[in-house]
Amino acid sequence: MSGTPAAALSSLERRVLYVAIVASFIAFLDGSVVNLALPAISRELGGGLLVQQWVVDAYLLTLGALILVAGSLSDQFGRVRVLQWGLAGFTATSVLCGLAWSGESLIVARGLQGVAGALLVPSSLALIVTVFSGPAQSAAIGKWSAWTSGAIVAAPVLGGISVDVFTWRVIFFLNIVPAVAVWPALRRLRELDLGRAPGSTIDVTGTFLAIIGLGGVVYAFIERGSLGWGAPQVWLPLAVGIAGLAGFLLHERRTPAPMMPLRLFAIRNFGWGNIATTVIYGALNLGFFVLGLFLQQVAGLGATAAGVALLPSTLILLLLSAKIGALSGRFGPRWFMTAGPLLCAAGFLMMLGIGLPLDYFGQVFPGLVVFGLGLAVTVAPLTSAILGAVDPEEAGIGSAVNNAVARIAGLVTIAFAGLITGPVITTSGLHGTAAVTAALFIAGAAASAVGIRNPPREAAESGEADA
């Protein structure tokens, strides 16, 4: 890209950033947009907490398991082509979700939606890594991180308004609008795929083992709430899942074309960054899953009011994340990744004072502000540290692995939610969740402080000169 004229490059950068943000935003949005719609879904389709958990986890399961394959597809077939496949599939499966006639049909449609969503994330972030460089890349990743992470926190607002004003089904039909809007810009980027290999080797065995492993473990933890550990419907899938995960790691170590190259984890910032990602995104998904349900089912807020109540974190993230990303590119990610999760933990510890009757500005708002500051300090440096550790040619698979880790972490912590809260959300269950969430964030800060290393100053100065 260095030979591209400045004006043309500026236009290309804007287009790539627009496409990357929109494509990833809708994929991340649908991981949590249903959270505040879950009570309405349960009232109409039935199934209680069990169906509520599966409506969230069916999407995260297929997204997390197949995002690794999508990273390989992105590197082999081209980022833009794979993005087009994913966007078309995501639109179609969103319509299926909106037309669901039962809890089971919605869960199946959500699983299919996760398959399409897996094609969107690695390619979009790899496009940014391909087109941007130096401090400009860090700033671009900061903007991408702000919008995509903001989707997780802002989703309840969209979900709440859809439920209160229209119906929960609207949240899925809304996906059609950004998908159609971004398609013309996406088509104009097809030249970026020129010269890519026309064929690819798909790790079918690895994909199968990943789905069996994750599916068995998640199914066991969700069903345990109603059946208990002693039921064969619980311990048998758990055993199969553990065996599947073990087989997956063994297979990925031996196969010549792994969908998750384990050698990448030997790279210090990549390995430790993914450890930090596991606990940080696990905490984020767990905390907001339970808090969103508590505000409605216990505190008595409407879906829209509960969504607006969670908005401060999103606004702070959107305002600060790009600036933090640029600072991280200049000074290195290590201490940002350490301080940010500690602020997130402090925000959730402040929520231990939540009680009934609910005092939003005294009990919830201060913690959300502190949490939002922490999240803004965390997300862009985390993404930059991990992607900066791999060669640009492997940006697709590197992004896929990191995003798979983040989605799987959320998948597992939500499956664990019933162990913390019990079968029904209560105030004490919220307090327990807040404490566990804070502990996970603290673990993420510790992993960052111990494992992450800032790039040599000479490299940073070289990047500034190139920019």
Full DSSP string of 136-196: HHHHHHHHHHHHHHHHHHHHHHHHHHHHHHS-TTHHHHTTHHHHHHHHHHHHTTGGGGTT-
Compute the mean pLDDT over every residue in the chain, rounded to the nearest whole number.
80
Among residues 208, 247, 181, the alpha carbon closest in space to that of 66 is found at 208
| Count of CB atoms situated within 10 Å of the CB of 251 | 18
Mean predicted confidence (pLDDT) in 242-264? 87
Q: 25, 317 in Cβ contact below 8 A?
A: no
The per-residue pLDDT for 6 is: 38
The span from the CA of 172 to the CA of 159, in Å, is 10
Cβ contacts of 384 within 8 Å, gap of 6 or more: 137, 138, 141, 142, 325, 328, 329, 333
Q: Which 3 state secondary structure label does DSSP give 258?
A: coil
The answer, yes or no, to whether the previous bond of 357 is cis (omega within 30 of 0) is yes
Cβ contacts of 56 within 8 Å, gap of 6 or more: 31, 32, 34, 35, 38, 289, 414
The per-residue pLDDT for 134 is: 67
| Residue 196: pLDDT band with limits 50, 70, 90 | low
Q: 403, 355 in Cβ contact below 8 A?
A: no
CA atoms within 13 A on the CB side of 199: 1
**Which structure tokens are listed for 242?**
């553990």
Cα 379 to Cα 7, 78, 184, 398: the distances in Å are 30, 26, 29, 16
Cα 97 to Cα 33, 87, 110, 316: the distances in Å are 13, 15, 6, 31
**Which structure tokens are listed for 412?**
């597992």
Model confidence, pTM: 0.72
Q: 282, 413 in Cβ contact below 8 A?
A: yes
The per-residue pLDDT for 352 is: 93
In the predicted model, is pLDDT for residue 234 greater than 80? yes
Q: What is the pLDDT of residues 282-300, one digit of tens each?
A: 999 899 888 988 988 888 8
Mean predicted confidence (pLDDT) in 303-316? 82
The per-residue pLDDT for 150 is: 63
Q: Is 134 exposed, middle or buried (0-12, 13-18, 19+ CB in 10 A)?
A: middle
Q: What percent of the chain has pLDDT over 90?
A: 22
Cβ contacts of 136 within 8 Å, gap of 6 or more: 13, 467
Please say whether the dihedral angle defined by the alpha carbons of residues 10, 11, 15 and 16, taken in this order, is positive or negative.
negative
